[in-house]
Amino acid sequence: MTDTEVTDVTDVADAERVTPAGPPAWGWTTVATRVGPLGLAATEKGLLCVAFHADAATAAGTVARLTRRLGSGPLPPPPPPCAAHEVLTTATAELTAYFDGRLRTFSVPLDWSLTSGFNRRVLRELAAHVPYGTLASYQDLADRVGERGAARAVGVAMGSNPLPVVVPCHRVIESNGGLGGFGPGLETKRDLLALEGVLPEPLF
């Protein structure tokens, strides 16, 4: 087993560990976008999860998985005022502005608790240093976090990203210029890159 593989196993173990502080209060909502409905989950710390293709069935499945993971179900919509719902309001407004072409940098706070270890390091580097309209390769991100042989592990980290769009894994491509993978589908990745001016808009 390589060092990278050990890191990945540690990430999985950490991700499944229940925090001793008890279940967090969290909320859920959906927002309509040009790439379909996005499901959003947030705690009082920040945005926790972004789920693509959040129709009724997919949203229900995601909420069920988060409920098992977090140890409690989502809070009902306010009133009363709730910090988690305030985060969701901010995230909804910012994502709407992003898809309308009016926002390039997200400021909504993020809750990184669904990722850890190497994956979290790579995703935080991506969020901080790969801005709107730019690209990075899997190898480039591996180099940036000091793991030169870990391009494949970076791909795994992108695939496990709990905060896509806001943490822009769609901006990560292969070193040869290929699009690489994208869990929600390559058409969605192309659409996001076209929105940011990296690729031409499709004709049809």
Contacts for 58-66 with beta carbons within 8 Å, 24 or more apart?
A: 59/28, 59/30, 63/28, 63/39, 66/26, 66/28, 66/41
Please pick, among 114, 142, 154, 169, the residue that the annotation labels catalytic. Answer: 169
> How many whole angstroms separate alpha carbon 139 and alpha carbon 151?
5
Q: What are phi and psi of 64, to 5 degrees?
A: -65, -40
Are 22 and 10 spatial neighbours (Cβ–Cβ below 8 Å)? no
Are 163 and 50 spatial neighbours (Cβ–Cβ below 8 Å)? yes
> How many whole angstroms separate alpha carbon 39 and alpha carbon 31?
7
Residue 169 annotated to the active site: yes
Structure tokens at 144: 């940036």
Catalytic residues: 169
